[in-house]
Amino acid sequence: MRHILTALVMNEPGVLSHVANMFSARGFNIDSLVVGRTEDPNLSRMTIVVIADERTLDQVRKQLAKIVTVVKVRDYKDSPYVSRDLMLVKLGVTPRTRSEIIELADLFRGRVVDVGHQAIMVELSGEEDKLDAFVELVRPYGIRELARTGVIAMARGVQTNTADEPSMENTPETLRMVKPAGKRQPTQAELEATPPG
């Protein structure tokens, strides 16, 4: 089954390789991985799409949460969310096919972002299925180049995936908090061992 996870991670060199190495070492398959900035300059958001059964998904969440540079992990399996993928596709055109491609782009609420004598480039965003359908429709025109960002996702409503808001599961395996400066929160044992003052 296909699952979407987001991980808030420290915005520092090497974080992506830590996450990729964890997936590789344990044989987990990544369908899509997108990394981008967030509202907090100290954090980046990874959106990870994995094909996994429930047991494997649970392992993925736990292993992600163990990585020191991972602040918080969220699984969207039990919550409503919005997901989007962005695509740029360059198609070969003739004077006759150019208008047909423009009409198809309009039907899919796409946008023509570059036009030449022999090629046209369309930008399209939406659910993955929508983009897949567009690709199949324009394939006969001759796809010269195609680039997709991969899936990004965000919970609907007031729920957020920020470092200062508890995750849906709110368990140690899926929630790590950091101070805005990027420092790890002390554990309860560390707090109790600290002398007063």
Give residue 88's Cα distance to chain centre: 17
Q: Nearest CA to 84 among 172, 196, 4, 176?
A: 4
Q: What is the pLDDT of residues 181-193, one digit of tens each?
A: 444 555 555 555 5
Q: Delimit the domains of the chain by residue range.
A: 2-79+159-187, 83-148
Tell the residue number behind the tokens 């995750």, with chain if given. Answer: 167
Q: ∠ CA(80), CA(86), CA(87), 5° rounding?
A: 145
Beta strands in the chain (DSSP E): 2-10, 30-37, 43-51, 70-75, 81-92, 111-115, 119-126, 143-148, 152-155
**23 SS3 class:** helix
The continuous run of DSSP H or E covering 56 comes out as helix 54-66
- Distance in angstroms (rounded) separating the CA atoms of residues 108 and 126: 9
Instruction: Confirm if 68 and 161 have CB atoms less than 8 A apart.
Output: no
Task: Please report the pLDDT score of residue 102 as a whole number.
Answer: 96
Question: Given this model, what pLDDT does residue 29 score?
Answer: 85
pTM: 0.71
Residue predicted with more confidence, 27 or 184? 27
pLDDT of the residue at 122: 98
Residue 96 confidence class, pLDDT cut points 50, 70, 90 = very high
> What rounded mean pLDDT belongs to the chain?
84
Q: Which CATH superfamily does the domain covering 83-148 fall into?
A: ACT-like. Chain A, domain 2 (3.30.70.1150)
pLDDT at 188: 54
Query: What is the third-level CATH fold of 2-79+159-187?
Result: Alpha-Beta Plaits (3.30.70)
Please say if the pLDDT value at position 76 is more than 90.
no
Please state the three-class secondary structure of 98-122 as a single string.
Answer: HHHHHHHHHHCCCEEEEECCCEEEE
Q: Which of 31-45, 98-112, 154-168 has the lowest mean pLDDT?
A: 154-168
Q: What is the pLDDT of residue 169?
A: 38
Query: In this model, does residue 14 exceed pLDDT 80?
Result: yes
Question: What is the C-alpha separation between 30 and 39, in angstroms, rounded?
Answer: 25
pLDDT given at position 175: 39
45: nearest Cα among 76, 88, 89: 76
- Give the model confidence (pLDDT) of 140-175 as tens digits: 999 999 999 999 998 888 767 665 554 433 333 433
Q: What is the mean pLDDT of residues 73-92?
A: 91
Q: What percent of the chain has pLDDT over 90?
A: 57
- Mean pLDDT in residue range 42-63: 91
Encoding tokens for residue 126? 């939406």
Q: Which two tokens stand for residue 192?
A: 């109790």
Cβ-based neighbours of 38, under 8 Å, separated by 6 or more: 8, 44, 45, 162
